[in-house]
């Protein structure tokens, strides 16, 4: 049994899953914003990075890791709420290119702002949980307490978001506001508040992913979410942009396939792999693998 868990294939799956859930979380945060406001938030990664900086730099002042995480999440929620109210709301009903241009501009402002405030140097975040892999006898099991937390918390977040949307009054109003804002208003639903709430939740999910990414090895620096944003965007597109579960699953898939490609083919193919998966999935099912519709509304 131990030989199975330490085999090359299972090892690749475990390493890939730990990376994949992070891609999935970024994809989930993009899907949440797309679902609630039909905006493709190109600044999602940069917003997550900025919020992570707000809290995690407090580590240098001796604050506990989890307190810093909490501060980052609060900062992310504030940033998400304010961004929706100030930058995005005036763009509703206008051509989609407007929001794309504004959010790309915002990405630039956040990254250069972070560079000015906290410098462009990567900050290593000390993990509160061990990142040393477990061993089974003399073999390595490619799971550490931190990667277990990484996978477990991502899946818990996904289930939490799904339960919020499915089973709560707020979730029903969030979905209704996204699907039929005018009808929702006629029923007395505070649609504007729901749209802001969608951005708040999404920003918190993105910031959580940014903190885990920074802690798991890359460190925190102004552009450290750029690559993950691209992979997250691809996962969201494969999942169908309207399926939170699909986003997470597509993220997992990307992470695992990337690890197999690095191990069996060449590490230089890793960055190209998600694009190839996207092209293939779009050829097979353009509306997304996990959407109910076979065509997407234009």
Partner 1 sequence: MQISNLTVRYGAIEAIRGVTFTAMPSRITAVLGANGAGKTTLLRTISGLVQPASGSIVIEGVELIGRATDDIARLGVGHVPEGRGVIAEFTVEENLRLGAMAFDIDLAAGLDEQYQQFPVLGERRKQYASTLSGGERQMLAMARALIAQPRLLLLDEPSLGLAPLVAAELMTTIRELCATKNLSVLLVEQNAKGALRIADDAVVLSVGRVVANGSAAEVASDDQLRQYYLGLVQ
Residue ranges in contact with partner 1 by CB under 8 A? 169, 172-173, 175-176, 179-180, 182-191
> Which CB sits closer to partner 1, 61 or 297?
297
Q: Which is nearer to partner 1, 139 or 190 (CB)?
A: 190
| Separation of alpha carbons 57 and 292, rounded Å | 43
Q: Name beta bridge partners: 139.
A: 136
Q: Is 265:276 a contact under the CB 8 Å cutoff?
A: no
* Location of structure tokens 């050829």: 283
- Least distance in angstroms from the C-beta of 166 to partner 1: 10
Least Å from the CB of residue 170 to partner 1:
9
Q: How far is the CB of 273 from partner 1 (least distance, A)?
A: 33
Which of 122/176 has CB closer to partner 1? 176
One DSSP character per residue, 107-161 reads: HHHHHHHHHHHH-SSPBPPPPSS--SPEEETTEEES--HHHHHHHHHHHHHHHHH
Q: With respect to partner 1, which residue has the nearer C-beta, 61 or 169?
A: 169
Closest to partner 1 by CB, 246 vs 255, is 246
- Write down the least CB distance from residue 151 to partner 1, Å: 31
Q: Which residues pair with 141 in a beta bridge?
A: 134
Q: Please, what is the minimum distance in Å from the beta carbon of residue 176 to partner 1?
A: 5
Query: Rounded to an integer, what distance in angstroms lies between the CA atom of residue 159 and that of residue 119?
Result: 36
């Amino acid at each position: 049994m131990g030989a199975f868990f330490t085999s090359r294939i299972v090892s690749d799956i475990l390493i890939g899953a730990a990376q994949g859930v992070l891609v999935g979380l970024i994809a989930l945060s993009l899907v949440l914003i797309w679902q609630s406001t039909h905006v493709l938030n190109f600044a999602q990664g940069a917003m997550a990075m900025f919020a992570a900086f707000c809290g995690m730099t407090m580590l240098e002042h001796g604050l506990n890791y989890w307190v810093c995480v909490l501060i980052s999440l609060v900062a992310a929620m504030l940033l998400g709420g304010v961004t929706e109210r100030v930058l995005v709301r005036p763009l509703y009903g206008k051509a989609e290119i407007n929001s794309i241009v504004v959010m790309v501009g915002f990405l630039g402002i956040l990254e250069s702002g972070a560079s000015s405030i906290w410098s462009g140097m990567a900050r290593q975040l000390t993990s509160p949980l061990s990142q040393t892999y477990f061993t089974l006898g003399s073999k390595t099991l490619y799971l550490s307490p931190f990667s277990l937390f990484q996978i477990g918390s991502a899946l818990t977040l996904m289930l939490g978001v799904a339960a919020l949307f499915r089973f709560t009054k707020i979730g029903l109003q969030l979905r209704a506001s996204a699907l039929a804002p005018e009808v929702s208003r006629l029923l007395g639903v505070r649609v504007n508040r729901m749209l802001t709430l969608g951005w708040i939740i999404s920003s918190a999910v993105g910031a959580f992913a940014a903190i885990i990414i920074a802690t798991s090895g890359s460190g925190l620096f102004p552009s450290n979410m750029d690559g993950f944003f691209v992979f997250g965007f691809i996962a969201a597109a494969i999942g169908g942009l309207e399926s939170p579960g699909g986003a997470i699953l597509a993220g997992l898939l990307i992470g695992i396939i990337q690890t197999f490609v690095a191990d069996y083919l060449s590490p230089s193919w890793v960055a190209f792999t998600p694009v190839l998966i996207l092209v293939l999935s779009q050829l097979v099912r353009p509306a997304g693998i996990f959407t109910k519709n076979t065509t997407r509304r234009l």
